[in-house]
Structure 1
Amino acid sequence: MGIYLDHAATTPLHPEVLEAMMPYYTDYFGNPSSIHSYGRAAKTALDRSRSAFSAAIGCSPADLLFTSGGTESNNTALYGVVETFGGKRAHVITTQIEHHAVLHPAERLARMGCDVTFLPVDMTGLIRMEDLEEAIRPETVLISVMYVNNEVGTIQPIEEIGRLARSRGIAFHVDAVQALGKLPIDLSVLPVDLMSFSAHKINGPKGIGALFASRKLQLAPQVLGGSQERKKRAGTENVAGVVGFTKSLEIYNNNYKEYNIQTSEYRQHMERIFLEELGPDGFVVNGNPDVSAPHIFNVSFPGSHTETLLMNLDLEGIAAASGSACSSGSLELSHVLRAMDLPESVCKSAVRFSFGFGNSIDQIETAARKTATIVKRIRR
């Protein structure tokens, strides 16, 4: 097998997670809404997992909804708040660098008649608090800002934003898909009303996510047809997925300090090799140098092109990404890098390397040197 450096896109299923899930595909397969013994066994697993997951992030089990993933959690948060608190008269504030699972619902809300403000960011991907304060209006019902940017890793000042939102009586949603398991999250302390999570970013299964939705906040359900999840999200629960998600969170919470140390070493080692092979002017590191998640390393190689770089890396058995959208087989320029107002040569040559379990320092060494060789070949 090759070298997988695209953990921000998805992660391999941890063997312990698969082991925890298997009984709920084979022996305990009942519908948790059924009252017979098969259903009760599934319901017990669901309740136990909800309690463990909630304890790990510092909230009550009654505040946690299980969803199909981060995308559904984000959609539920945005549409649910707007429907509850203002409908078409509502004003929503988000940023220009959100994941499309927030940007596209926000754009749809705008088409439906809501007023949406997309905050700019600086050249490192950070919002400016003064811009946020100026954007707030009497009719503002929701602020949605991601914790860790999925393309460049910049960490937003969530506590500061949350305190401002609380002082103005505005609901605050955080897309924490890239933060869960990498940053400590304690919702008993963080001034956040809604927070979205996804399992497959932390070596859990695909197709399962979660939404913290404070009981203090009314939230109109967006999936109807049953009384599951306290009537907030209809549909038979993905019991095996919930069990797997909870197990993956347990593994990360027990190891996140070591994980961050390790991914920081990978990032630093890769940067040292680029410096050695390409020189200080041969590459550009994108994102904030002081407040970034270490597992995401976004680098531009001016004089080359992202698509060419990724194809050549793939031929060498190295999986990386652009972080930007793929349309009809060709890459679109990253909306995140554009919002950061970076030069076109930087935007057009960006590659996102993202690290995780299963990587080694030897893999990083090999990938970095092969990348440098490819860059030099392309430039010649």
Structure 2
Amino acid sequence: MVYLDYAASTPVSEEALHVFEQLSKNFYGNASSLHDAGGKANDILTYSRRSLAAMIEGEPDGIYFTSGGTESNLLAIRSIINGLPAHKQHVITTSVEHPSVHHAVSSLERLGVKVTIIEPNQDGIITEDILKKALLPETGLVSIQHANSETGIIQPLA
């Protein structure tokens, strides 16, 4: 079989499976626990955070491990909104975002955050003019998916 739906999920490579198997057998402790197994697991997490941060020229404390895109989107959107001042509680997103983004902004809207959903042009692009029309002085977050895995459209974010 030739598997081509890598937008939805990806089969695990033999190398990644081997590493996962070894880590699961040898470093299974809760990284937040004080026992030896937890300490070893915490060492692996610390090493992983440092390695990934170095690759992206980021900070290890800014690296979070999640179960997937949905959890990552929710964490990012909620964290940004929670860190904004009260006068910047307006979110702009698009009608073509991943459902997890729509769920996240809907939950924020129920909490009183103002949400504006913008539509792309006939080519599926969010133009600068479309975005400018939605911007308000209280806009604190604009969430636009850079590349859509279903349509292949790449938004000109720069």
TM-score by length of 1: 0.39
Q: CA deviation at 1:89?
A: 7.2
**For residue 66 of structure 2, what is the aligned residue in structure 1?**
67
- CA separation of 1:110 and 1:35: change in aligned 2, threshold 3 A: closer
Structure 1 position 95 matched with structure 2 position 119: no
Partner of 2:37: 38
Q: 2: distance between equivalents of 1:129 and 1:49?
A: 38
Deviation at residue 86 of structure 1 after TM alignment = 5.0
Task: Give the CA deviation at 1:144.
Answer: 0.9
TM-score, with structure 2 as normaliser: 0.88
Residue 81 (structure 2) pairs with residue 82 (structure 1)? yes
Equivalent residue number for residue 21 of structure 1: 20
1:142 aligns with 2:141: yes
CA distance in 1 between partners of 2:102 and 2:86 (Å): 18
Distance 1:112 1:30, change over 3 A: closer
Q: Secondary structure, in 3 states, of the residue corresponding to 2:65?
A: strand
Greater share of strand? 1
Measure the CA separation in 2 of the matches of 1:61 and 1:107. Answer: 31
Question: Are the equivalent residues in 1 in contact too, given 2:87–2:138 (CA < 8 A)?
Answer: no
User: Runs in 1 of length 4+ with deviation above 3 angstroms?
Assistant: 86-89
The answer on whether the counterparts of 1:89 and 1:113 sit within 8 Å (CA) in structure 2 is: no
The change in CA–CA distance for 1:71 and 1:53 in structure 2 (over 3 A counts) is same
- The one-letter code of the counterpart of 1:122 is N
Residue 38 of structure 1 deviates from its aligned partner by 1.8
Q: What amino acid is aligned across from residue 141 of structure 1 in structure 2? A: G
Q: Structure 1 stretch 76-85 or stretch 45-54: which is displaced more?
A: 76-85
Q: Letter of the aligned partner of 1:36 in structure 2?
A: H
Alignment of 1:39-188 (within 5 A): 39-86=38-85, 90-158=89-157, 160=158
Q: Give the drift of 1:127.
A: 0.7
Where relative contact order (Cα < 8 A, 6+ residues apart) is larger, the structure is: 1
Distance 1:38 1:26 in 2: 11
Give structure 1 stretches of 5+ with no counterpart: 161-380
Q: Distance in 2 between matches of 1:82 and 1:46?
A: 27
| Residues 112, 40 of structure 1: alpha-carbon distance in 2 compared, 3 angstrom cutoff | closer
The answer (yes or no) to whether the contact 2:80–2:141 under 8 Å persists in 1 is yes
Cα distance in 2 for partners of 1:112, 1:32 equals: 33
Judge which range, 140-149 or 85-94, deviates more.
85-94
Greater C-alpha radius of gyration: 1
Q: How many residues align?
A: 158
CA distance in 2, matches of 1:36, 1:65: 23
The CA distance in 2 between the partners of 1:48 and 1:11, in whole Å, is 25
CA shift at 1:115, angstroms?
1.6
Provide the identity percentage.
39
- In the TM superposition, what is the alpha-carbon distance from 1:118 to its structure 2 partner? 1.2
- Contact 1:99–1:150 under 8 Å retained in 2: no
Shift of 1:148: 1.1
